[in-house]
Amino acid sequence: MTVPASESGIHKRVVLAEADIDRALTRIAHEILEANKGSRDLVLLGIPRRGFPLAQRLAQKIAAVDPTVDPDLITGQLDVTMYRDDLRRHPTRSPLATQLPPSGIDDKVVVLVDDVLYSGRTIRAGLDALADLGRPRAVRLAVLVDRGHRELPIRADHVGKNLPTSSQERVRVHLAEIDLIGGSPVDEVVIEDRA
């Protein structure tokens, strides 16, 4: 499905639609439970901005499988802004909130959740941020899209979709919680190509 953008020369291709995202998250939720042998000690930390709604959705799906889980009590947000290695290369970034679940992260199994895995630098920053907050028993990584082009020895444990891309392309994730397009909430993953 190719939709040429009207005003510029950017071509936009939808690679995951709403139903695809939902199916991918359902599978990841089951994978997380399987890898952890249940929901014990699980904490899902989303990396802002779009990792956080993804973590919330995963927690909902985990709670749907295991009714003993309260999704709000296992979800949190981890801001990595102050730990990035490229602070000097971009306009100043405003830090966002870090919110941990009330149980904390010590001796928990923390699953970092992000929308797109690319260079791996955000996750590196996330691991440093975690170390300042506590000492989890294990840290795993779940991403909606893995687009390759890693610059650090980091891999995801749970991947919604592997998306081979060229570094000229841009992968954009739109989530209904955050993104309004034309006034209505949208769930989709698109590849934009500057052709």
Partner 1 sequence: MKHLLSTQDLSARSALRLLDTAEEMAAVGEREIKKLPALRGRTVVNLFFEDSTRTRISFEAAAKRLSADVINFAAKGSSVSKGESLKDTAQTLEAMSADAVVIRHPASGAPARLAASGWIDAAVVNAGDGTHEHPTQALLDAFTLRRHWARIAGTPSAGTTLAGMKVLIVGDVLHSRVARSNVWLLTTLGAEVLLAGPPTLLPVGVGSWPCRVFYNLDDALAERPDAVMMLRLQAERMNAAFFPSTREYSRRWGFDDGRLALLDTMGLDDTVIMHPGPMNRGLEISSAAADSPRSTVLAQVRNGVSVRMAALYLLLSGDPQDDDAADGRADQDDPPATTPEGRTP
Near partner 1 by CB under 8 A: residue from 11, 30, 119, 176: 119
Does residue number 146 form part of the binding site for partner 1 (CB under 8 A)?
A: no
Could you tell me the two tokens for 128?
A: 């440093």
Among 66, 58, 86, 79, CA closest to 144: 58
Dihedral sign computed on CA atoms, order 158, 164, 167, 173: negative
CB of 184 to partner 1, least distance (A): 16
Query: Residues 124, 126, 132, 138: is their CA dihedral positive or negative?
Result: negative
CA distance 93 to 116: 19
User: Which CB sits closer to partner 1, 42 or 114?
Assistant: 114
Among 140, 173, 187, 188, binds partner 1 (CB under 8 A): 173
**Region from 18-26, 35-43, 61-69, 115-123 binding partner 1, contact rule CB under 8 A:** 115-123
Residue 7 CB, shortest distance to partner 1, in Å, is: 14
Residue among 79, 108, 113, 126 that touches partner 1 (CB under 8 A): 79
Query: Taking contact as CB under 8 A, which single stretch among the options 58-66, 69-77, 83-91, 153-161 is the one that binds partner 1?
Result: 83-91
What are φ and ψ of residue 136, in 5° steps?
A: -70, 155
Closer residue to partner 1, CB minimum distance, 69 or 115: 115
Q: Could you identify the residue written with the tokens 């209505």? A: 184
Residues 6+ apart with CB under 8 A from 183: none
Contact between 26 and 57 under an 8 Å Cβ cutoff? The reply is: no
Which residues form the interface with partner 1 (CB under 8 A)? 49-50, 79, 81-83, 86-98, 114-119, 121-122, 128, 132-133, 147, 151, 170-173
